[in-house]
Amino acid sequence: MLLLILAIVSIPIFTIGLKLFDGPGESWSHIVKYVLYDYLKNSFLLVLFCSIIVITFGVATAWLVSRFEFPFRKQLEWLLILPLSVPAYIMAYAYAGVFGYSGVFSKFMEVIGINDFRVEFMNIYGLSFVLSISLFPYVYVSCRTFFLAQATNLLEASRMLGISEFKSFFKLIFPLARPAVIAGLVLVLMEVLNDYGAASYYGVSTFTTGIFRSWFSLGEPETAIYLSAILLIIVFGLILIEKWQRRKLNYTTPKSSKQNYNSRLKPKISNQIWFSVICFIPVFLGFILPVIQLLIWVKHTFSKVWNIDFISITLESFGIAFLTASVTVLVALLLLFFTKWNKIELLKSSSKLGILGYAVPGIIIAIGVLIPSLYLDKWLIEKNITSKLILNATLIALVYAYVIRFLAVAYQPLESSSLKIDRSLSDSSKVLGKGNFRTFFKIEFPLIRTGLLSAFILVFIDILKELPLTLIMKPYDVDTLAVKAFEYASDEMVSSAALPSLLIILTALIPAIFLNKLLLKNASNS
């Protein structure tokens, strides 16, 4: 059973690999000569700019809320997670409006007496900012987890030696936190390389937009596969860098009896105010400002957008997300416990291959699912088993692609919950003659219910936000909130995209708040 799950989950990656042997499409030489350089350059610049911005925002805010006491710290420590609830493509729409002719920025400039002042935002620099301000919480959460768990022995020693807090941070804490920084940064960069909605809307050519263009505009899946392979190599390169960093920088710190950052330093009043301002800036830029712009648009377009069709799309979105989240959690449970029950070490170690889907951009998974599903449908039609497509461009294929993409999101909280189960409980049950399944349902299942709920919520929200994979895989008669928002923006009706965007954001707030509670719980237990 474990081998079957791994085989099913691995199909898209193997498909991309096998199709490379078929050769590229007719336009490949043209792409290599004229546009591949742009894809590489823009991707490199996005990675560079986003790395600088997310590390600056993420590390600075995580350090301040973990180390110091200042006004509104408790509120800001969870508010700093909220930008994660705003998908990058929605952030892109909002900021296009903020800096548009009738946007919040233009109105503000008019109020202070400056007319006809415009900021050209829809370029690679604007895209880098939009992606960074929506994704920096990955670095913030990773670093904050590290800072909350970090004992104060070394810091106290450095203070006794007369070393300033500023110098201690850069000479001592930041080098120690480097694995946490890299872990968060790799997640950010994978999302940056996966982005399609924001890059497409801002007119920046990236690998993802190139893959879409090759597949849909040029009608060359072979060329799209070659571009996907290059993108896949870049993504796996990032993963290897992260693994290498963890191997090379394996630090340990002596524990002190709950003497961590629960006893925060209280700086002078002027510094406290500055710390509050510094932490509020990314909250304002990454959540408050874009939501204000969306609310302004909703006020003007609500009566036009809110109708029976929109309600139907909303119900479809939530229904697909609910169904897929349930299936994904079930598959993650099977993968986790079949691995646990399996006695072959090679299979145990290879089970991690099943959760690599989250590292693979959604557009690549979509292509890797479309090709084999189309072949299978053609074979079924040729054998007169069916007279129409039953997999390709259907809800079955869409759910399958989602499961592969977000299996890791469900697997991680389930694995964390299962590791907390005392093995003696399961061993005692087996000694009494109970089988694996009976032991699971009677003992283990009740103990991992929190992990199950966490996994379901996280997958549900990710599916609701997912755009590139949904655009390619969705059936013709099915729409989602993410796709509807993208269609409005693409048709130059960006203000109409505000209502579906706000619904996605409001739903995505749930895991953001849940994540903060989890961080605080872990900190109190450390």
pLDDT digits (tens, 9 = 90+) for 310-329: 999 999 999 999 999 999 98
Written as one letter, the residue type at 327 is V
Extract the tokens encoding 137: 């919480």
The arithmetic mean of pLDDT across residues 110-129, rounded, is 84
pLDDT, tens digit (0-9, with 9 covering 90-100), for 445-493: 676 777 788 788 888 888 988 988 898 888 888 889 999 999 999 888 9
Give the long-range contacts of residues 513-516, CB within 8 A, separation 24 or more. Answer: 513/78, 513/81, 514/454, 514/457, 515/81, 515/84, 515/141, 516/77, 516/78, 516/81
- What distance lies between CA 441 and its chain's CA centroid? 32
For residues 176 and 366, the model is more confident at 366
Is residue 200 predicted with pLDDT exceeding 80?
yes
Highest mean pLDDT among 148-152, 193-197, 277-281: 277-281
Cβ neighbours of residue 83 closer than 8 Å, sequence gap 6 or more: 91, 133, 134, 135, 136, 137, 282, 283, 286, 287
- Count of CB atoms within 10 A of residue 32's CB? 12
Is residue 346 predicted with pLDDT exceeding 60?
no
The arithmetic mean of pLDDT across residues 133-144, rounded, is 90
pLDDT band at 277 (very low <50, low <70, confident <90, very high): very high
Whether the domain at 1-26+306-490 and the domain at 35-297 fall into the same CATH topology: yes
Residue 68 bridge partners (DSSP): 265
Q: What is the pLDDT of residue 10?
A: 80
Place of tokens 């080098």: 175
- 65 within 8 A of 279, measured Cβ to Cβ: yes
- 44 within 8 A of 238, measured Cβ to Cβ: no
pTM of the model: 0.83
Compute the distance between CA of residue 403 and CA of residue 425 in angstroms, rounded to an integer. 31
Angle value at C-alpha 98, between 92 and 104, nearest 5 degrees? 160
Compute the distance between CA of residue 378 and CA of residue 130 in angstroms, rounded to an integer. 42
- What distance lies between CA 118 and its chain's CA centroid? 32
* CATH class assigned to 35-297: mainly alpha
Compute the distance between CA of residue 298 and CA of residue 304 in angstroms, rounded to an integer. 10
- 520 within 8 A of 508, measured Cβ to Cβ: no
Q: Could you say which DSSP state residue 304 is in?
A: H
C-alpha distance from residue 60 to each of 247, 278, 353 (Å): 25, 8, 34
Compute the distance between CA of residue 276 and CA of residue 291 in angstroms, rounded to an integer. 21
Residue 265 bridge partners (DSSP): 68
Q: Could you say which DSSP state residue 214 is in?
A: I
Is residue 151 predicted with pLDDT exceeding 50?
no
Compute the distance between CA of residue 252 and CA of residue 510 in angstroms, rounded to an integer. 33
Instruction: Compute the CA torsion angle 489, 495, 499, 502 (nearest 10 deg).
Output: 80
C-alpha distance from residue 477 to each of 94, 95, 318, 393, 480 (Å): 28, 31, 16, 10, 10
Q: What is the pLDDT of residue 259?
A: 47
- 397 within 8 A of 473, measured Cβ to Cβ: yes
Compute the distance between CA of residue 18 and CA of residue 6 in angstroms, rounded to an integer. 17
Is residue 501 predicted with pLDDT exceeding 60?
yes
DSSP helix/strand/coil, 68:
strand
Is residue 256 predicted with pLDDT exceeding 50?
no
Is residue 252 predicted with pLDDT exceeding 70?
no
Segment among 130-144, 226-240, 420-434 with least mean pLDDT:
420-434
Segment among 117-121, 129-133, 402-406 with least mean pLDDT:
117-121
Burial tier of 288 (Cβ tally within 10 Å: 0-12, 13-18, 19+): middle
Extract the tokens encoding 317: 């979105």
What ranges do the domains of the chain cover? 1-26+306-490, 35-297
The arithmetic mean of pLDDT across residues 337-350, rounded, is 62
Extract the tokens encoding 257: 């009896």
Cβ neighbours of residue 348 closer than 8 Å, sequence gap 6 or more: 339, 342
Is residue 116 predicted with pLDDT exceeding 60?
yes
The arithmetic mean of pLDDT across residues 408-421, rounded, is 72
Place of tokens 């759910």: 399
Is residue 182 predicted with pLDDT exceeding 80?
yes
- What distance lies between CA 223 and its chain's CA centroid? 27
DSSP state letters, 260-285: STTS-B---HHHHHHHHHHHHHHHII
Nearest Cα neighbor of 481 from 462, 504, 511 is 504
Angle value at C-alpha 135, between 469 and 144, nearest 5 degrees? 130
Mean pLDDT of the chain: 82
Rg of the Cα atoms in the chain: 24
Q: What is the pLDDT of residue 127?
A: 96
Extract the tokens encoding 339: 């691995």
Percent of the chain whose predicted confidence (pLDDT) is above 70: 79
Written as one letter, the residue type at 33 is K
* CATH class assigned to 1-26+306-490: mainly alpha
Is residue 377 predicted with pLDDT exceeding 90?
no
